[in-house]
A and B are shown apart, each in its own frame.
Chain A
Amino acid sequence: MSTEQLTEVEMITVVIDGFEVTVPKGTLVIRAAEKLGIQIPRFCDHPLLSPAGACRQCLVDIEINGRAFPKPQASCTIPVEPGMIVKTQLTSPVADKAQKGVMELLLINHPLDCPVCDKGGECPLQNQAMSNGRPTSRYEGVKRTYDKPVAISSQVLLDRERCVLCARCTRFSEEIAGDPFITLNERGALQQVGIYEDKPFESYFSGNTVQICPVGALTGTSYRFRARPFDLVSVDSACEHCASGCAMRTDIRRGKTLRRLAGDDASVNAEWNCDKGRWAFKYLITRERVATPMVRGSDGELHEASWPEALAAAAAGLKSKRAGVLVGGRTTREDAYGYSKFARVSLGTNDIDFRARPHSDEETSFLSSIALGLSTTYSDLDKADHVVLVEFEPEEESPIVFLRLYKQVRKRAIHISTTAPRISRGNHKLTAVRTSLSSVSGLTAKSVIILGERAAETGGTISAAVALAASTGAKLAWIPRRAGERGALESGAFPSLLPGGRPVSDASARVDVASAWGVSHLPQNPGRSTSEILQGLNTPDGLEAVVIGGVDPADISADALSQLLNTFVVSLEVSHSAITAIADVILPVAAVVEKQGTFVDWQGHARGFEKAIDDAQTRSDVRILSMLADELGAPINLPSVSATAREIQSLGTWDGARAAFEKTSAGSAPRTEGTTAMLHSWRLLLDLGTLQEGEANLAGTARTARAHISASRAAALGVKNDDRVRVSSERGSLTLPAVIVDISDDCVWVPRNSLNSQVIPALGFSSGVVTVVKA
């Protein structure tokens, strides 16, 4: 146990309504009362925001060592003190009258539109007006009215007359998200939340303000007027978008997701989530769902088929061919396990990879050797003195990691360094400084080096980070972008690993798994990675068939789709896609809300979730794979997600030796001169990602794609801000408005997958040398 944990917290005993309660020093009276089950009404108070004392709803009578405050005090601003006696509305007539008085005042200007308000039925104002308000109003005057609603962004609407001016939203934006794009304007009763002129509320975390608004003043554009809270069925869920691991709540009405909210998990997302997690769920109804199995006929067209027909066709196509598996990064742990077992048992191959993105042998070696042994967690970030971001943009690629870091930057001014060629908005908020792995200094055992998935794109980067961690004692973390990657790695959906991190190369590991699976042996040849699988297609020794989970070929390479042509493709998909268009057999599978499962977050913690839509007829990938395995005559016996989870559990994790990490030395950086530049890019949180389809209001707050160049390059090109520049490779080009920023002179940065800037399809690669000219 560290010395920190041993530090005793001073405890203080106070009396509230006649009951003693002992709480840590610094606890606010309102929270001490909660411990006793005494609920003091409140609006502006929020346990994760700094106290405001603005609404005055929580007034209580307080005396300390016999000295009474002359007037009631806001219990949300006063910490407990020894000898304190608190009388809430339950025992003090003065406090009770004060609270009723404040409630009456809050209501004089509040409209009576509860029957049409989104918040009606789950509204703190409504509830507390009933519990702590006067039965009738004495107000006969004129109520304040405003034009309504005001769109403070495309996704958040503001009804000012409903606002009780508690400043939760503005405090959240400033203190938690670091995006003070909304503020209180005007004064007196005309005070109102507002945005700066021509600057909408384009925060990646804006949805949280809707969730913590204690009235219906802030509403989500997409959900507005859609449902009544009492018609919704709420299910605890886990977010499928990134590896942050947010707890979520999914609200369903009659088989449809109406909204998603941030769930509570103090160790991960506190009570927050990002706007993508909150609002990007319509992808399910946007594209045409794959409703039935489909088989490509002799006419070359896809035809609907029965399950037995389709499974037979898939089995026939796979049986006679060398087949591999592309899993994709968005599967649950159980589904990934299904693919892993299916590849080994039914296809007899280790040619399976979850990486539907640029990757490298160096990364393969890292993931086989070090990654699964990493135990870095959010709490290490909370305690870190210095965090190095290696090819990782927290706000864009793992927003909760950003929030956790931002909290520590605000609280303790910790150091953040980044290897990025420019300081993004998110990193600017983190006061990050640019560094390189060879020059970063001052790391200690309390420091954390975070590797993003893009570290695989530059040879030697992962090796340098591993070496730096080893030499400084700093902790290492690997934070992939997608929610399923860590779970897929643990499940062995990887060429060099069996489930539980067992090395394929280790005979005893193979025997272990083979006996657990009841098969005589497992394939021992090292498997191929995603790119090797694709490049080997249609070559003499390569594969002839591929089973593909949720993969967008454009995420891998510009050639991926064409490489898959003339190959037997079995596609397990939710909706029609580029893969289903070329597939020979399509097997429909359940979407996240239609199944149970587990995502494994970047910390390696399981984030289980239940089926949100009870009566869904679709089935999880693992169930389909199990049927296909039966059809192939090499069963994997995974009839359900829960059976799979049990098998994963009983198989456990590997405690034997892991492969050694094979270092890769950094190649010499390509030279750039004149109009050539090194291309850098990453995905923005809100972009053209498949899972964001169908949510125009969310897309409305996405950043505009721009080519980021340095002042000296701009001068050399004769380009000003907003002038268009063409970024081109041998394969193609992107034409974007320029923005002049502080970026290395030899670099150009463009968003990887945004509107007008889809780097891989357009340029053929995600990093390399490009030319930049004035368009």
Chain B
Amino acid sequence: MTQLTPVLSAHWDEADSFTIEGYQRHGGYKALEKALSMQPDEVIQLVKDSGLRGRGGAGFPTGMKWGFIPQGDNKEHYLVVNADESEPGTCKDMPLLMANPHVLIEGMIIASYAIRANYAFVYVRGEVAHVVRRVQKAIEDAYKAGLLGKNILGKGFDLELVIHIGAGAYICGEETALLDSLEGFRGQPRLRPPFPAIAGLYARPTVVNNVESIASVPAIIANGVEWFQAMGTEKSKGFTLYSLSGHVTNPGQFEAPLGITLRELLELAGGVRAGHQIKFWTPGGSSTPLFTAEHLDVPLDYEGVAAAGSMLGTKALQIFDETTCVVRAALRWSEFYKHESCGKCTPCREGTWWLVQMLHDLEAGKGTEEDLTKLLDLCDNIAGRSFCALADGAVAPIISSLKYFRDEYLAHQRNGGCPFDPIASTTFATVGA
């Protein structure tokens, strides 16, 4: 059975893991020294060779993204790290930044060096004040240690690192909306092309990477391509953080090679809540189509999940047992997307407004089977029609829940309301649990 491969999370259990001393005790910033002694293009090539893919959801090869930055163009380049972790169920970047902010800083310096950026930004969601304080302190300490600022480690490379606090909008996790927000505008996705690699922040070539992607870089530099490729599957190399939440005995972050299955992860996490069976789960947050018990052995890598009809996403595994009403879950998620739709495009803005009303009625047992057809048709008019991927995510739980649990929707209509006891599904429930 696949074992855990703690790299990023290796020392989270140490009392001072988040300090510069704690980080350096385990070889922190050694990879930086190594990277700065390489040519920037060698660093890009090494990351390309490692097969590291974006950990924010889309799985785009990180080294390739860096390689898109035009070199010798006499323009400022920027590195922007997307720490606007807001996907329901996703909880990997925040604990990582809480427990080990320096691994991100080290990764950012290396990445900036590779793409020839002298300014780098971390865009952290605004709600996590404690994380922000830790990152701020870490940046301060890194400046004091000569790891940021002018002439880093005496190698002639300069980097200013800026932390920016978001104002609490899910859409700002979309990279172009994030850039608008970072520039001080209202966060709404930008028209592409131009892509950020050509005209990103302040219309300059910009790399936008997820926290975990960048944080994975120092280990790759330090241990080499072979070490990294020894983990994971053919096209999904390396280790990653899986976040288990919901009806699971020991929820939390599990760092394992890509391609591990939920069955294996559940064993590591002590299984589904005692006395219950899994009913459905999300492989990568609420924007990825639901899976059920039949998918427990799907390898959780980019290809495996896609082949099974969903997406690896942020590897946010939300586990729901049989006490959970899927209609209710879909409604709650829809309410989230309605609240977070930025309003720019019609399908998302109006569609999520309508979906919530329909799901409310369906949960209350109103309507007929025809309404399910209408609901699916509405989803079809939203998915793939909107400006960015937010709306695709919004309809994912609805379409997939109807695919696997159509009868449960109908049961609401037969029952004249929800047949479930909502209290039984709470994790603190005693009655019915």
Contacting pair A56 B340 (CB below 8 A): no
Q: What are the interface flags for A39-71 relative to B under an 8 Å C-beta threshold, 1 for contact and 0 otherwise?
A: 000000000000111111101000000000011
Say yes or no for A97: interface residue by CB 8 A criterion.
yes
Asked if B186 contacts A184 (CB within 8 A), the reply is yes
Q: A101-B380, A187-B169, A191-B343 are in contact. Are A53 and B350 (CB under 8 A)?
A: no
Q: Is the CB of B191 within 8 A of A189?
A: no
CA distance A425 to B191 in the complex (A): 31
Give Cα A53–Cα B358 distance, bound, in whole angstroms.
Answer: 27
- Provide the residues of chain B in CB contact with A190, threshold 8 Å: 343
Evaluate contact between B347 and A187: CB separation under 8 angstroms. no
Q: Which of B343, B350, B353, B374 has the most C-beta atoms of chain A within 10 angstroms of its own C-beta? A: B350
**B386: interface (CB < 8 Å):** yes
| A423 interface residue (CB < 8 Å to B) | no
Contact B346 A54 (CB under 8 A): yes
Q: State A71–B342 Cα separation when bound (angstroms).
A: 21
In the complex, the answer to whether A189 meets B387 with C-beta atoms within 8 Å is: no
Closest residue of chain A to B367 (Cβ to Cβ) is A140
- Taking a contact as CB atoms under 8 Å apart, the answer to whether A187 and B342 are in contact is yes
Whether A189 pairs with B385 at a CB distance below 8 angstroms is: no
Contact residues in A for B352 (Cβ distance below 8 Å): 188-189
Q: Which of A70, A72, A141, A191 contacts B357 (CB 8 A)?
A: A141
Q: Does A585 contact B (CB under 8 A)?
A: no
B68 to chain A, nearest CB (A): 20
CB distance from A403 to the nearest CB of B (A): 24
CB < 8 Å: which of B169, B343, B344, B385 contacts A98? B385
Q: What is the CA–CA distance of A56 and B347 in the complex, to the nearest angstrom?
A: 7
| Pair B350/A56 contact, Cβ less than 8 Å | no
Asked if B381 is at the interface of the complex by the 8 Å CB criterion, the answer is: yes
CA distance A191 to B341 in the complex (A): 10
B338–A53 contact, CB under 8 A?
no
Q: Are A53 and B345 in contact (CB under 8 A)?
A: yes
- Say yes or no: A71-B343 contact (C-beta < 8 A), given A109-B350, A189-B350: no
Interface flags, B327-356, vs A, CB<8A=1, else 0: 000000000001111111111011111100
Measured between beta carbons, the chain B residues less than 8 angstroms from A77 are: 191
- Tell which of A54, A101, A109, A189 has the most Cβ of chain B within 10 Å: A189
- A188/B381 contact (C-beta < 8 A), A53-B387, A105-B354, A139-B354 known: no
Of B169, B344, B346, B385, chain A has the most CB atoms within 10 Å of the CB of B346
Residues of A within 8 A of B343 (CB): 165, 184, 186-191
Please measure, in the bound complex, the distance between the C-alpha atom of A59 and the C-alpha atom of B339, giving whole angstroms: 25
A138 CB–B CB distance under 8 Å = yes
A353 within 8 A of B: no
Q: Are A105 and B347 in contact, CB atoms less than 8 angstroms apart?
A: yes
Residues of chain B contacted by A456 (CB below 8 angstroms): none
Q: Give the size of the chain A interface in residues (CB under 8 angstroms).
A: 36
Distance (whole angstroms) from the CB of A95 to the closest CB of chain B: 10
The answer to whether B346 and A102 touch across the interface, beta carbons within 8 angstroms, is: yes
Chain A residue with the shortest CB-CB distance to B356:
A141
Task: Given A53-B387, A138-B374, A141-B358, answer yes or no on A109-B345 (Cβ-Cβ < 8 Å).
Answer: no
Q: Which of A52, A97, A105, A184 contacts B351 (CB 8 A)?
A: A105
- Tell me which of A51, A97, A102 has the highest count of chain B C-beta atoms within 10 A of its own C-beta: A102
Any A CB within 8 A of the CB of B224 = no
Question: A106 and B385 in contact (CB under 8 A), knowing A184-B343, A187-B342?
Answer: no
Instruction: Verify if B384 is at the interface (C-beta below 8 Å from A).
Output: yes
Interface string of A607-639 (1 = CB under 8 A from B): 000000000000000000000000000000000
Q: Could you say which residues of chain A place their CB within 8 Å of the CB of B384?
A: 70-72
Knowing A98-B381, A104-B381 touch, does A188 contact B339 (C-beta < 8 A)?
yes
Contacts of A102 in B (CB 8 A): 346-347, 381, 385
Inter-chain contact B385/A108, CB cutoff 8 Å? no
In angstroms, how far is the closest chain B Cβ from the Cβ of A245? 34
Q: How far is the CA of A109 from the CA of B351 in the complex (A)?
A: 10
Within 8 A of B (CB), among A179-234: 183-184, 186-191
Give residues 6-51 of A contacting B (CB, 8 Å): 51
Known contacts A53-B191, A141-B354: A59-B385 contact under CB 8 Å? yes
**What chain A residues lie within 8 Å of B338 (beta carbons)?**
188-189
Asked if A660 is at the interface (CB within 8 A of a chain B CB), the reply is: no
Report B-chain residues with C-beta under 8 Å of the C-beta of A109. Answer: 350, 353
Bound-state Cα–Cα, A105 to B354, Å: 8
Question: Is residue A144 within 8 Å, beta carbon to beta carbon, of the partner chain?
Answer: yes
Q: In the bound complex, do residue B191 and residue A188 qualify as a contact, i.e. CB atoms below 8 Å apart?
A: no
* Shortest distance from the beta carbon of B188 to any chain A beta carbon, whole Å: 8
| B19 nearest CB across to chain A (Å) | 38
On whether the beta carbons of A56 and B191 are closer than 8 Å, the reply is: no
In the bound complex, how far is the Cα of B384 from the Cα of A32, in angstroms?
24
Per-residue B-contact encoding for A270-300, CB less than 8 Å = 1, 0 else: 0000000000000000000000000000000
How many angstroms between the C-alpha atoms of A56 and B374 in the bound complex? 20
Bound-state CA distance A53–B344 (Å) is: 9
Q: Does A736 contact B (CB under 8 A)?
A: no
- Which residue from chain A places its CB closest to the CB of B348 in the assembled complex? A188
Asked if B387 contacts A191 (CB within 8 A), the reply is no
**Residues B346 and A164 in contact, CB atoms below 8 Å apart:** yes
Q: Give the contacts of A68-88 with B (CB-CB under 8 A).
A: 70-72, 77
CA of A105 to CA of B338, assembled, Å: 14
Does A266 interact with chain B (Cβ within 8 Å)?
no
Which residues of B lie under 8 Å from residue A52 when comparing CB positions? Answer: 191
Q: Does A142 contact B (CB under 8 A)?
A: yes
Q: How far is the CB of A494 from chain B (nearest CB, A)?
A: 52
Residue of B nearest to A167 (CB): B344
Q: Give every chain B residue within 8 A of A106 (Cβ-Cβ).
A: 346, 350
**A184–B378 alpha-carbon span in the complex (Å):** 26
B353 near A188 with CB under 8 A, answer yes
* Cβ 8 A contact of B350, one of A51, A105, A186: A105
Can you name 8 A-B residue pairings with CB atoms under 8 Å? A53-B387, A56-B347, A71-B384, A98-B381, A104-B381, A138-B374, A165-B346, A188-B341
B: residues with CB less than 8 A from A are: 169, 171, 186, 191, 338-347, 349-354, 357-358, 374, 378, 380-382, 384-387
Known: A56-B345, A165-B346, A190-B343. 18 other contacts (CB 8 A): A51-B191, A53-B345, A54-B387, A71-B384, A71-B385, A105-B354, A108-B354, A141-B358, A165-B349, A183-B186, A188-B343, A188-B353, A189-B338, A189-B343, A189-B350, A189-B352, A189-B353, A191-B349
